Chain A
């Protein structure tokens, strides 16, 4: 067996930097008391290192860009890398948080020898603009240690690999902290010195875990590898370092994602006709866009055109901080279109989606909406129109604030022309929303107008009266 290990020293950083133009130093933070998790080469040149406190990092580089990681983000990004590696090698495994393992002995014939394998993977890394150190080893653990220490080379020569492994300093030998400290206290500095100690004597002095680690490096203890297979969903996210305000700006990152989709589809030998695009904003809900192609499609260009058309027609509602492309529907290349539409096998939800998207396509997306409540004291903001294609189960329950509200709330209040015949209740004073630039300061009353209807009226700061709604 021969194993190839890919170690991504700053995977998240690569992921983020791919979509950015600025060359300012960048660091990724983690934890409550933020510490630097990864730093880009520019930042490292200024002395910023992993584990450093934000305070120190900023003292070193006052114009540092920082990004806080989201929980689970690294797993997602790692899986995205696994997806393309899977296309090169059949037997791969994840080594979270930042490593991938592939069995390569069986690939040598396919790629015309070990250098071919090495080149192929190196090329793929370059295409994806990823920094990774690669290493080969006869055990997964040996490959991992060499990759992490950036000591890998393209050779299957046992003696050479062994030489490299034994030369590893203790701090890079993969022991837990206590064991490393113990071995250091014995005056040992390299892994080879540990391996040279009398084995029985050594075994009596090491924890079972440390011992098993040593044996796994040498291959004297089995180290089973759980193979990984890609899920049947395509999901790709992009986080922007700076908010994007023009839809034009979305096309570049979108194109990259769509190319990856194309690559995925081509490899799967499948098509799709349905693409979910979400745009993330700093505040409020995501903008969800559902793109449907005229027929099964796999070309990035076709998807991009569709997206461009949509974005041209619908200006952005707010600056975008990130986007996600998601494809759940895969069609076999030879399946004829529409075969499953409204067929008896189709899911009711799917049928509804198809209907809604057809209506939307015919009437325009904004013509079809759904009402949802919002917790806000301002009446016009106490409800919201959500896209008809939103996923209801993703909504959090919203507390409904008390108050007698009219069934028909006017889109915009209009002046009250007459004195009411009767004042039924009030005032209800609403003074809220100063924080988002749409403050409301009104006194509301329920009144009966001369000709009978019950109206919801208010008086504003300037003492003008308006009708804001009608009760049934």
Chain B
């Protein structure tokens, strides 16, 4: 037996076709003793890195190739179908170019290649395996014409691929292949046309085929393969099916293909380094410049030491270009006045501090620098840079400009099957009633940890037949995690020295003008390629705007660095839970935590950011930490190593890094093993198996003399993180923004709210909620008015009154608002005609303004304003000249005056908020809410006392960390009421809980420190009161 190399094999990256993961194919090929395996997905190399990672430690050679079917028939009627294999690195580049052409031409997810593309692309380093057309499709002469055409393009790099799927008429097909080879004088090579690693996958392959053709299995027969023979066959079977020369030919081809994905070396763009400098020198010089800025009185010796260490490591690992590239992007942003901040493990280095990528001062957080760049992990450093969300596009355009689209593209994100989509698709293929499947999906409680979703489906009565149920779950289980399509990564850029399309194919993303490469971040990591994360953060936009407003008010520029550190008033405000609008700590859970944790330093904020996360909450870290913090529980450490890891969080692991580090110091994991644990934790939810790590962790801890109880508790804590732990390196950067935004809120509230409102949408709260909070903090808010407002919200006068901008008015375009502002006469507009004429407003614009009552200076009320401008008998242009002398239209006496309620609702309808009285105040005055306490009165209510409250429902949450509990937030004229609804209560009162817009709650007051909740008993839907308030309220939000 000569051995075998499989040269035609598609993975599940040929979406809805291949039925095995690349790694499954690779592992099976190795187990079967194949000499080599080519992964040849349809116009794609997306599966290559995963196969490569699986084969690294195996003697099987990985060949990179791709399978193509042309969209036209350049010769005869048959459309050529063939596999191209990359012979060398050059051939790989050629292959990537061709794939890029085919993908860029078609819509996302498709490809289109024509005969002429094979002429216009150089493919002289690729090998071609031709798949002759099927017997039924064309006669011998047609097939020959097709083969001749293709052979002329590849000459001696041309084979006919023969497969043995054991289908009908196989003898005739093989005879045709022999005849073609004879006519073309070319060799025949054995291939498997592999679609799955094992025959067991045939059912799934059938399901995928049915899905691809959008039909059920019953209807799919014409498209299905008659059997499951397209799998990786054992060598003896191959030997029986193929003549020996055909098998030997596979080895000859495999021998010729010397390209290995590991040979791809990322060549970082050298653009940034001057010709007369080495990258190391250049980086060193940049850092020194930074040092002078950061330490004007001279760099402390300790810091200088650290810099030396870091630079040595960077040099050793050749990461200079990476740091220089990010530095360049950050410098561009700074030059444009775009706020940005880096985070991530590598970002917390002195080098990054000096280069201006981060503001986290190393003097404050020594401990963080332990985990700078791991030498052992052999992974590129990880720095995420956040930019103002409204101006990130500028940064992206800069990157495209600087490196061109040829050399820069976004990384892909592989969208995979999740339980919901897998159940839906398998159900569809098996012909289950779609409405039934939807019903099941809706009924499954994914957060119910006690009952597996499979059991839930059975309980809900999908099928009574256990065989069908079994098959269904098997298929769903196998399909889980299969890739469905490539999407764009949120901001991970890959930048290369040479043309990117020769490193990895580039394809279209769904968004116009965006292109993505065929690999995702894990693929890049496994091939050792680097990406730069350019992310968007709304708070940075808001901060920049607030700083500018403060600067204006103070008469001198004001920057983040000018904010005084550790201001007690700011912390006092946070300790009260007064944090609406503040970065990261504004959610209801965070607001409740603030008075309990009582942060008084920056590092407390780092903990605050990380502690309100599913990881620490599920791992039950919160209560022990709080108890120890307030001295109600002693802090003890089993040994010094553990003390080192946990001391800064009082012995309770809170950060992801600590969980990993604990595995190392308490259970003796190596850095590599700990990193595997981290990945397993991240994937835990999807694949769900930490058992191998459990045994090892517990054994390791017992070995090191820890008692079993401690070992078990620690294991549970690590599990609790389950991928939801928050890294300290990110929390540290975030905490800076928490402090900065809190300080501004405390000392410059008008600027704070104005900036936040101008950065919408962002954060947790609607403009209405922000405006109410602003007024509670003493800011005077004035309504939008064509004679005073701009597009943006502005501050007026020495008192800094907040004037709402025209941007609030729904449906009014920014350009129209700009014209209203620009063309406004000094004395203001005097009537609607003048406004319409000078600002060149459309009828629709005018209607928006009337609806928002934004013309109070010259209209009696919104009804009359609307009546006046609905009259389209008068062509505006005709009166353009005579505008000044135009007599105003008499008001229509039959129209009713708006009532207060009508006005309030119309305000909400047109702007999403109202500066008039809160609807609840009106209802209370009308006696509709007798016995109900306001949010304000509730703060002084006695715990345990039965109360009634009512309010507009502004939030309903069922956090995954609180089993079965629904949190409802009610808003009234004095503030917010937190209502807690237990599962049993919720089950019995679904209707009011889920549909009420105005909810009345009877319950019991609960108090913990300053946090007050109402535990709900009876819920009553009072939404009809809004409707009777005045008129319509369908769109009341």
Listed in ascending order, the chain A residues whose CB lies under 8 Å from chain B are 29, 34, 46-47, 54-56, 58-62, 64, 66-68, 170-171, 182, 184-189, 193, 196-198, 201, 204-205, 282-284, 374-377, 399, 401-404, 425, 427-432, 434-437, 443
Contact = CB atoms under 8 A, between A and B. Distances in A.
A34 B851 contact: no
A401 B222 contact: yes
Nearest to B135: A402
Contacts of A64: 439
B106 interface: no
Contacts of A434: 202-203, 206, 471
A62 B443 contact: yes
A60 B898 contact: no
Nearest to B1030: A189
A429 B229 contact: yes
B568 interface: no
A431 B438 contact: no
A435 B465 CA distance: 13
B873 interface: yes
B851 A185 contact: yes
Nearest to B168: A403
B376 interface: no
B862 A185 contact: yes
Given A67-B435, A68-B435, A427 B166 contact: yes
B1 interface: no
Contacts of B430: 435
B894 A198 contact: yes
Contacts of B226: 377, 401, 428-432
Given A196-B894, A376-B221, A436-B218, A29 B863 contact: no
Interface stretch (B48-56, B727-735, B864-872): B864-872
B595 interface: no
Contact of A54 (B171, B222, B438, B847): B438
A399 B224 CA distance: 13
A59 B992 CA distance: 12
Given A196-B894, A377-B224, A185 B168 contact: no
A383 to B, nearest CB: 13
B562 to A, nearest CB: 48
18 contacts: A29-B435, A47-B990, A54-B438, A58-B439, A68-B434, A182-B847, A185-B850, A186-B895, A188-B895, A197-B895, A377-B226, A377-B227, A403-B169, A425-B170, A428-B167, A431-B202, A432-B206, A435-B203
Given A189-B1031, A425-B171, A428-B166, A399 B995 contact: no
Interface residue tally on B, bucketed by range: 35 or more
Given A205-B867, A376-B221, A60 B168 contact: no
A184 B1031 contact: yes
B438 A59 contact: no
A186 B992 CA distance: 32
A429 B863 CA distance: 79
B217 A197 contact: no
A201 B5 CA distance: 86
Contacts of B166: 427-429, 443
Interface string B218-235: 100110101111000000
B991 A47 contact: yes
A18 B228 CA distance: 48
B906 interface: yes
A430 B203 CA distance: 13
Contacts of B897: 187
A460 to B, nearest CB: 14
Nearest to B1032: A184
B934 to A, nearest CB: 28
Contacts of A425: 170-171
Nearest to A434: B203
B863 A187 contact: yes
B442 A402 contact: no
A59 B439 CA distance: 10
A56 B991 CA distance: 10
B168 A431 contact: no
B865 to A, nearest CB: 9
Of the candidates B169, B228, B229, B439, the one having the most CB atoms from chain A within 10 angstroms of its own CB is B439
B878 interface: no
A284 B851 CA distance: 57
B218 A283 contact: yes
Contact of A197 (B218, B434, B894): B894
A205 B136 CA distance: 68
Contact of B439 (A66, A376, A402): A66
Given A430-B227, A436-B218, A437-B467, 15 more contacts: A34-B435, A62-B443, A68-B434, A170-B1032, A185-B862, A187-B895, A187-B896, A201-B871, A283-B218, A425-B171, A428-B167, A431-B202, A431-B227, A432-B227, A435-B206
Contacts of A399: 222
B304 to A, nearest CB: 60
A187 B900 CA distance: 12
B636 interface: no
A188 B862 CA distance: 12
Nearest to B210: A435
Interface string B192-221: 000000000011001000000000011001
B272 to A, nearest CB: 49
A204 B873 contact: yes
A58 B442 CA distance: 7
A238 to B, nearest CB: 18
A24 B438 CA distance: 18
A201 B889 CA distance: 12
Nearest to B167: A428
Interface string B908-929: 0000000000000000000000
B862 A47 contact: no
Nearest to B218: A283
Contacts of B994: 47, 56, 59-60
A202 to B, nearest CB: 9
B431 interface: yes
B892 interface: yes
B893 to A, nearest CB: 9
A185 B906 contact: yes
A60 B996 CA distance: 12
Contacts of B135: 402
Interface string B780-797: 000000000000000000
A189 B872 CA distance: 23
Contacts of A374: 221
Contacts of A403: 167-169
A186 B866 contact: yes
B995 A204 contact: no
Given A59-B994, A425-B171, A401 B863 contact: no
Of the candidates A187, A205, A427, A436, the one having the most CB atoms from chain B within 10 angstroms of its own CB is A187
A71 to B, nearest CB: 15
A282 B433 CA distance: 9
Contacts of A188: 895-896
Contacts of B218: 283-284, 435-436
A374 B221 CA distance: 9
A375 B991 contact: no
B772 interface: no
A434 B202 CA distance: 9
Contact of B990 (A59, A205, A432): A59
Contacts of B863: 185-187
Interface in B339-359: none
A204 B872 CA distance: 7
B902 interface: yes
Given A197-B894, A429-B167, A46 B991 contact: yes
B170 A428 contact: yes
Of the candidates B167, B171, B438, B442, the one having the most CB atoms from chain A within 10 angstroms of its own CB is B442
Given A47-B991, A187-B863, A434-B203, A182 B870 contact: yes
A341 B170 CA distance: 54
A381 to B, nearest CB: 9
A435 B471 CA distance: 9
Contact of B871 (A204, A284, A375): A204
